Amino acid sequence: MEYVTITHPHHPLQGQRCELIRIRRRGVDPDLVLRLADGTHAAIAMSWTDYGEEPGCPPALSAPAVPLLDLQGLRQIVDLFDQLRHDDRFPTPRRRTRRTHAAQRTLRDNP
pLDDT single digits (tens) 11-25: 999 999 999 999 998
- This prediction has a pTM of 0.48
97 falls within a domain = no
Give the count of domains, the chain: 1
- Asked if residue 22 is part of any domain, the answer here is yes
24 part of a folded domain: yes
Residue 72: what pLDDT? 84
- 21 part of a folded domain: yes
Residue 85 lies in a domain: no
Q: Please report the pLDDT score of residue 81 as a whole number.
A: 85
pLDDT per position in the chain (111 positions), as tens? 899 999 999 999 999 999 999 999 877 889 999 999 999 999 999 999 998 776 655 554 444 555 566 788 888 888 888 888 888 876 666 666 665 666 556 555 665
Range of the domain at 11: 3-48
Report the 3 state secondary structure along 41-91. Answer: EEEEEHHHECCCCCCCCCCCCCCCCCCCCCHHHHHHHHHHHHHHHHCCCCC
Q: Is residue 82 part of a domain?
A: no
Does residue 36 fall inside a structural domain? Answer: yes
User: Is the residue at 95 inside a domain?
Assistant: no
